[in-house]
Amino acid sequence: MSIHIPSSESIAEAARVIREGGVVVMPTETVYGLACDALNDRAVARVFELKGRPNENPLIVHIAGLDDLPKVAESWPPIVEKLAERFWPGPLTMVLPKLPSVPFQTTGGLDTVAVRVPDHDVALVLIEESERPLAAPSANPFGRLSPTRAEDVDPELAAQVPMVLDGGPCRIGLESTVLDLTSDEPRVLRPGSVSRADIQAVLGRPLGSAPPPAARKSPGLYQRHYAPRAAVVLAEALTSGQAGLTFGEPCGPNQVRMPLDPRAYAAQLYNALQRLDAMGVDEIRVVLPPRGEAWEAVHDRLKKASAS
């Protein structure tokens, strides 16, 4: 694994790789991503190949700011500017009608594009240096845990790219909230750290309650996803000897005590599962977190990780 501390030289080199159609691993505030030129269909195809990702699963396009939106989106409702003012840079992805110049390879064959501005200095500088919008799905084999630290990037995957930029632990630790704005009723396709209440406060009205569209306009919509190799079992409590995540005092090295704060829990979740998975355990039992809107994204990831 070729890990590089971000510097003007290493970021410039990563930008050169991207401009020439290559792929690098970059940090964001959510998870580490496989970054490539989102408008280069061959580069995007390489990302799908590296991940073993289904072709119909769209990628999120990362831009440097609202001024870059015309590079990828054909149109957008006025509310986009208010949402961007409140949540960009940050972990909110908006689904909008795409420009013809955005390859269908990037959008999973759809005429919509998912786009956001990452809240990470390294990612933003890399976008600007590359002079390209960047597709950057999580740097993991499809369906597996997303890495939130450079050292958690899958080693076999990392060996096939020239650079991993180490931006430190991801502050958010879960993938972005995805908001579909392509119909009269905005709806959340994937929960994240930007909550429904946060979005509704900007919209000034409730989010749509109708079922989501049949087409997958967002990543992360498969039944099983974000999963370690070990089976994940949701439980009320752990007993001595069981590997897993708990809110109580751990009973041994194969148990991890998790915080009761939902944001802190989210930031530690994937790394904790990675650590237990690396021990070679067959099963990871996870004590169910509290319910409530603040925990929605955590429950979404645990539900997908434990699906059979």
Task: Please check whether residue 269 is in contact with residue 147, taking contact to mean a CB–CB distance below 8 angstroms.
Answer: no
Give residue 283's pLDDT. 97
Question: Given pLDDT bands bounded at 50, 70 and 90, which one contains residue 226?
Answer: confident
Lowest mean pLDDT among 39-53, 98-112, 126-140, 208-222: 208-222
Question: Which conformational region is residue 90 in: left (phi greater than 0), alpha (psi within -120 to 50 degrees), or beta?
Answer: left
With residue 232 as reference, give the H or E element that holds it.
strand 231-235
Distance (Å, rounded) from C-alpha 139 to C-alpha 154? 7
Question: Given pLDDT bands bounded at 50, 70 and 90, which one contains residue 212?
Answer: low
- What pTM did the predictor assign? 0.95
Distance (Å, rounded) from C-alpha 131 to C-alpha 19? 8
Residue 142 contacts by C-beta under 8 Å, 6 or more apart in sequence?
51, 52, 53, 54, 57
Residue 92 is encoded by which pair of tokens?
């909110």
Give residue 97's pLDDT. 97
User: CA distances (Å), 32 to each of 50, 171, 223, 303, 306, in order?
Assistant: 15, 11, 22, 22, 22
Phi, psi (5° rounding) for residue 134? Answer: -115, 125
The identity of residue 292, as a single letter, is G
SS3 176: coil
pLDDT at 1 over 70: no
Domain ranges (residues) in the chain: 3-203, 231-306
Give residue 214's pLDDT. 56
Residue pLDDT, tens place only, 244-288: 999 999 988 899 999 999 999 999 999 999 999 999 999 999 999
Question: Which conformational region is residue 274 in: left (phi greater than 0), alpha (psi within -120 to 50 degrees), or beta?
Answer: alpha
Higher pLDDT, 292 or 218: 292
Residue pLDDT, tens place only, 43-90: 999 999 999 999 999 999 999 999 999 999 999 999 999 999 999 999
Residue 242 is encoded by which pair of tokens?
């069981």
pLDDT at 220 over 80: no
SS3 46: helix
Task: Please check whether residue 168 is in contact with residue 147, taking contact to mean a CB–CB distance below 8 angstroms.
Answer: no
- 3-203 has which fold? DHBP synthase (3.90.870)
As a whole number, mean pLDDT of residues 18-42 equals 98
* DSSP state at residue 133: -
Give residue 308's pLDDT. 80
User: Closest Cα to residue 218, out of 245, 191, 241?
Assistant: 191
Give residue 224's pLDDT. 76
Residue pLDDT, tens place only, 150-204: 999 999 999 999 999 999 999 999 999 999 999 889 999 999 999 999 999 999 9
